[in-house]
Structure 1
Amino acid sequence: MSLGAYFRLARAVWVLAREGAFSVLPTESLPPMATAAIGMARLVERRSVRRTGRVDRLNAALNKLGPTYVKFGQTLATRPDIVGVDAAADLSGLQDRMPPFDPALVPAILQEALGTKATDIAELSPPVAAASIAQVHKARIDSPSGGRVVAVKLLRPGVAQRFRADIEGFYAGARFAERFIRPARRLKPTEVLQTLDHSARLELDLRLEAASISEMSENIKGDTGFVIPTVSWDHTAQNVLTTTWMEGIPIRDHAAIDAAGLDRRKLAAQLLQAFLRHAIRDGFFHADMHPGNLFADPATGNIIAVDFGIMGRINRYERRFLADILYGFITRNYRLVAERHFDIGYVPKNQSVDDFTLAIRSIGEPLHGRTAADISMAKVLGQLFAITELFSMQTRPELVLLQKSMVLVEGVARSLDPNLDIWTVAEPVVGEWLRREQGPIGKLNDLADHLRAFGDAANRLPVLIAEAELALAEHRAERNRPRERDGLLRAALLGVLGLGGLVLLALLYVLLRFAMQPSL
């Protein structure tokens, strides 16, 4: 790691401290060491911040520091319950109201990326939205079959280089924490950062975003209440993405939503249920659902989502974990919640399941029967921090995007409906999926997974046999042992292979017995 990375990290900490970034963090939610560090950082705050408590320049500071810092600010903007209403309002400008890049660069970008297809794009507007990675223009595509209105998304020139510089500084901080701050090691900051790094690098190729839109379109084609644009593949490249234009009211414009006669409570429920459906049913979800990427259709009441640069994907085992956790809280089955944390490796096996169940109950019980407005997320986070440390809980980097996305979605939903009852809204989606998993279809899926594993093992048998024969031949050549020993070795080899075959047959028998069990 270069010295420049540490210098950039130190500069970022200085800028954020000066602009009061650390004053918006709920110190009651953090361990003593982190609280002490924040107290030291606040010593260099500008006098106006210390005097008034306002952090009106934080938006500009994050924008100045780079795109990865902007992404962090976008997440905080959805959580006024954590950072405060004023700070969240200031940070909301990071979502789609950032300064655009020089419009004179646009024609050359389109020509280089699309070649002759660039001439199809007409009536290109000034930027209608500009964020940290890209900006969007409204345009029209003329074709023999007729014209259509489209959204043209362009990556910011030089954004990849800025991102790499930012992320190098983040890696420097993560490795410093792992080396010198022992409690941070169980949080696996470097592995977490690698997960976020990978997802952000994917965001820098708009062809992959187009593919994500295509895949999600197939997943939700039978759904209602949630719509996304379609891709114009002829006008898409690494740094240009063209999709259908989606007209709607920004989800954060509550006054306009009310004026259009839309039910904000219904919109909040639709948003939360759509996210859970995508994550639990499909294992593929929009991982950047901040308010700048969400709209409400005044004609249909549908939620409209755009910007699919960051997507999350979880396997069936992780989907089952998420569903069981949510259902455990919904039904107040805290034992189930605790056991699933042990199963997936969040909690080490040397901890007590009973004690962890008690800790989970202490979090879950105060949340039941209370609306979102009555819940202090700062206090909940503080309790979670304490529990993770008490039980030596380990971070699962592959679930970081899911956790981040749930924070975003829950924040947007609670802004639409402060009286949102998360558990009541989540139950239809979670319960339906779990009932399906426990029924005949779920058992068939389980059997298919096991048979697939069995098939993979069977396919490896010829390779294992060939490797064993090769090892035997090399052993014979090197040792030049008597025939009797060779015969014994061959007999032993055949015995091992025969035993392997018996094991595979036994596994197949167990799978067949499993398939014939009655469903729950």
Structure 2
Amino acid sequence: MWRTIRSFLRLLAIARALARHDALAPLELAGIARPVVQLARLVSRRRAEGRPGQKLARALTDLGPSFIKLGQFMSTRADLIGEEVAHDLAELQDHLPPFESAEARRIVEDELGQPMAVLFARFDEVPLSAASIAQVHLAVTAEGEEVAVKVLRPGVEAAFERDLALFYWLAELAERASARFRRLKPVALVRLFEEQVKIEMNLSMEAAAADELAENFAGDTTYNVPPVDWQRTSRRVLTAGRVGGIPMDDRDALIRAGHDIDAVLEKAANIFFKQVFRDGFFHGDQHPGNMFVDTQGNIVAVDFGIMGRLDRQTRYFLADMLLALLDRDYQQLAEVHVEAGYLPKPTADTPPLPVFAQALRSVSEPIFGKPLHEISFARLLGQLFQLSESFDMEVQPQLLLLQKNMMMAEGVSRSLRPELNTWTLAQPLIAEWMRENRGPEARVREGAESLLHIARRLPETLERIETIVEDVQSGGLRLDARAARALGGGRANGWLKLALGVSATALALGAAALAVAIV
């Protein structure tokens, strides 16, 4: 009860803030808390300039850090808020006025347990940047290393927890409001948002992500991650090597510096492919402000608070979908969607699979062979989202971040070379990865690994069977009458022989498959 009252009062304050920016349209569209929204609309009759998404972005900035992060997160959900609003929220700038340098110093000393004079020979008073969660100061360590020090904004954790309760309340209202919102799983969406932001507010987790990413690209000079200074890093402070370069989307500056635009884009495409398919661990916020080109034409990345992960099975499904799409085999593409669990298995109440294949063809065929600048990816995603709704497909949260980053990558590519399709640059790597991981040899190897896993568990399985047999024979295991008759009367040895036969067959198949894979 108290939670509902607190959430209602907070919602009223938020609705007033949205009304001041003439940004009530998203709440009106969602149909959530209609009386509150109508009251806010009556109180404020302002008509601000700009598109609905632009007005919403300004309102979210005024509402504070949690809402800025929510806006950035929702920019991946064109299915929920519409293509135009999603595009405008993607442009939401994560900038806030800086907090006092003295407060930053206090946090550093409290977190690291040493005086600033011991930790740093110099610590800039004016921050390099200030965002909703943290701000960054340039510094020089006592050992003379040039570093960047990221300090968590004071009070941001408590503010996020307070706002999170409201977000859950609104999500629950949305699920009760309509079947469409239930399919989009708003409560699960808020849970995903909570997990993401809590990780982002833990700077030691960001440091670990940077470290892992650097390890994945060890020896690859095309992609550089600033080294973490673990001695000066904690939950609320992150110290890393200082890096620099030209922002990834500054075409004129790149050309003036003598960089080959095609070479830069090829490196960026290959890096993105390696992160997603090779490693299943990718930078989740690759906007131009977080990516730079160094003097050697290599890519430098910063800000690793948002990272994405894809397990091996998901990567395999994505690869199978890509293969089917490149072959224009829409029936196979539809079947992979079912196998992956993205599309419900056909029933008497759902459209047959060939109809889904036909729908996939209708969306995909118009873009084949077209250069990037002739393809509207916002429109394409909108069509795919409509398709998912028509066929009762569940939205896959683990792919939302990937979709967002693909859009960012295409935006950068379009700003540098509009006539170039950036994904064709990574085609040789894609072909090699497909052959190694989804070709006939790979499938034999995958089958062999599964069988060998069964074979490794053979001793444990036999031991369990033997224990069961002994318990049955001694009367120590209670079974129903039919099971007791099947296992009793001297037939237990038959069951044991059957188990041995099956296990031996699995072992033989595993050995044969392994031999084929090695040859």
Q: What TM-score do the two structures reach when normalised by structure 1? A: 0.82
Gaps of 5+ in 1: 26-32
Q: Who is 1:30 aligned against?
A: none
Look up the SS of the partner of 1:139 in the other structure: strand
Aligned-pair CA distance for 1:393? 0.8
The answer (yes or no) to whether the contact 2:76–2:403 under 8 Å persists in 1 is no
Q: Who is 1:178 aligned against?
A: 175
Q: Who is 2:164 aligned against?
A: 167
Q: Pick from 319, 332, 339: which aligns with 2:315?
A: 319
Return the alpha-carbon distance in structure 1 between the equivalents of residues 53 and 319 of structure 2: 38
The answer (yes or no) to whether the contact 1:287–1:405 under 8 Å persists in 2 is yes
Question: Would the alpha carbon gap of residues 340 and 468 (structure 1) be closer, same or farther in structure 2, given more than 3 Å must change?
Answer: same
The one-letter code matched in structure 2 to 1:448 is E
Is 2:136 aligned against 1:136? yes
Q: Who is 1:451 aligned against?
A: 452
Aligned-pair CA distance for 1:372? 3.0
The answer (yes or no) to whether the contact 1:128–1:137 under 8 Å persists in 2 is yes
Is 2:277 aligned against 1:306? no
Q: Who is 1:365 aligned against?
A: 365
Q: Which has the higher contact order (CA 8 A, sep 6+)?
A: 1
Q: Which moved more, 1:355-364 or 1:216-225?
A: 216-225
The one-letter code matched in structure 1 to 2:127 is P
Question: Would the alpha carbon gap of residues 488 and 123 (structure 1) be closer, same or farther in structure 2, given more than 3 Å must change?
Answer: closer
The answer (yes or no) to whether the contact 2:83–2:379 under 8 Å persists in 1 is no
Give CA deviations for 1:386-437 in whole Å, capped at 9, x if unaligned.
2112211122334343334333333343344333414423422322210112
Computed over aligned residues only, the root mean square deviation of the Cα atoms, in angstroms, reads 4.0
The answer (yes or no) to whether the contact 1:22–1:38 under 8 Å persists in 2 is no
Q: What TM-score do the two structures reach when normalised by structure 2? A: 0.82
Give CA deviations for 1:437-463 in whole Å, capped at 9, x if unaligned.
226567445533553365357646646
Q: Which moved more, 1:462-471 or 1:383-392?
A: 462-471
Question: Would the alpha carbon gap of residues 406 and 508 (structure 1) be closer, same or farther in structure 2, given more than 3 Å must change?
Answer: farther
Q: Who is 2:325 aligned against?
A: 329
Is 2:63 aligned against 1:62? no
Q: Who is 1:509 aligned against?
A: 508
Q: Who is 1:28 aligned against?
A: none
Q: Which moved more, 1:205-214 or 1:193-202?
A: 193-202
Q: Who is 2:353 aligned against?
A: 353
Aligned-pair CA distance for 1:122? 2.6
Matches within 5 A, 1:290-305: 290-297=287-294, 299-305=295-301
Q: Pick from 328, 333, 340: which aligns with 1:344?
A: 340
Gaps of 5+ in 2: none
Question: Would the alpha carbon gap of residues 364 and 458 (structure 1) be closer, same or farther in structure 2, given more than 3 Å must change?
Answer: farther
Return the alpha-carbon distance in structure 1 between the equivalents of residues 33 and 249 of structure 2: 31
The answer (yes or no) to whether the contact 2:413–2:422 under 8 Å persists in 1 is no
Q: Who is 1:188 aligned against?
A: 185
The answer (yes or no) to whether the contact 2:468–2:477 under 8 Å persists in 1 is no
Q: Pick from 280, 288, 297: which aligns with 2:277?
A: 280
Corresponding residue pairs, total: 502
Return the alpha-carbon distance in structure 1 between the equivalents of residues 285 and 445 of structure 2: 33
Is 2:145 aligned against 1:148? yes
Give CA deviations for 1:361-404 in whole Å, capped at 9, x if unaligned.
11111112323332233432332232112211122334343334
The answer (yes or no) to whether the contact 2:280–2:315 under 8 Å persists in 1 is yes
Return the alpha-carbon distance in structure 1 between the equivalents of residues 172 and 76 of structure 2: 29
Look up the SS of the partner of 1:247 in the other structure: coil
Is 2:110 aligned against 1:108? no
Return the alpha-carbon distance in structure 1 between the equivalents of residues 77 and 297 of structure 2: 24
The one-letter code matched in structure 1 to 2:178 is I
Return the alpha-carbon distance in structure 2 between the equivalents of residues 390 and 487 of structure 1: 50
Q: Which moved more, 1:250-259 or 1:470-479?
A: 470-479
Is 2:73 aligned against 1:71? no
The answer (yes or no) to whether the contact 2:111–2:237 under 8 Å persists in 1 is yes
Return the alpha-carbon distance in structure 2 between the equivalents of residues 390 and 276 of structure 1: 31
The answer (yes or no) to whether the contact 2:53–2:89 under 8 Å persists in 1 is no
Question: Would the alpha carbon gap of residues 317 and 52 (structure 1) be closer, same or farther in structure 2, given more than 3 Å must change?
Answer: closer
Aligned-pair CA distance for 1:344? 0.6
Q: Who is 1:120 aligned against?
A: 119
Q: Who is 1:433 aligned against?
A: 433
